[in-house]
Amino acid sequence: MSKGIYIIGTDTGVGKTVVSAGLMCLLLAQRYKSAYFKPVASGAVVMNGIAEATDAVFVQKASGFVEKSEWITPFVFKNPVSPHLAARLEQVPVDIDIIKSRLQYLKESYEWIIAEGAGGLAVPLNDEGYMQYDLIRELGFPCLLVARAGLGTINHTVLTVQAARAAGLKIKGIMINGYTGSLPERDNVETIIRLAGIPYITNLPVIAGMDTDRGQTGNLREIFEKSIVIDDIMDLMETM
Output the pLDDT for position 92.
96
Percent of the chain past pLDDT 70, that is, above it, reads 100
Distance CA 146, CA 120 (A): 10
Q: Taking all residues of the chain, what is their mean pLDDT, rounded to a whole number?
A: 95
Distance CA 137, CA 195 (A): 23
**Which of 16, 38, 107, 172 does the annotation list as catalytic?**
38
At residue 1 the predicted structure's pLDDT band, cuts being 50, 70 and 90, is confident
Output the pLDDT for position 79.
93
Phi, psi of 127 (to 5 degrees): -80, -5
**Residue 192 above 90 pLDDT?**
yes
Output the pLDDT for position 227.
94
Average pLDDT, integer, range 85-101: 97
**H or E, element range at 46:** strand 44-47
Catalytic status, residue 107: no
Could you tell me where the DSSP H helices lie in the chain?
16-29, 54-63, 69-72, 83-90, 96-109, 132-139, 153-166, 183-196, 220-227, 230-236
Output the pLDDT for position 45.
84
Output the pLDDT for position 48.
78
At residue 59 the predicted structure's pLDDT band, cuts being 50, 70 and 90, is very high
Per the structure, how many domains does the chain have? 1
Structural domain for 114, as ranges: 3-239
Percent of the chain past pLDDT 90, that is, above it, reads 92
135-185 tens-digit pLDDT: 999 999 999 999 999 999 999 999 999 999 999 999 999 999 999 999 999
Output the pLDDT for position 49.
75
Output the pLDDT for position 199.
85
DSSP string, 176-200: EEEE---HHHHHHHHHHHHHH--S-
Asked whether the beta carbons of 23 and 224 are under 8 A apart, the reply is yes
Output the pLDDT for position 33.
98
**Residue 46 above 90 pLDDT?**
no
List the CATH number of the domain containing 49.
Answer: 3.40.50.300
104-125 tens-digit pLDDT: 999 999 999 999 999 999 999 9
Output the pLDDT for position 83.
96
**Amino acid present at 186:** R
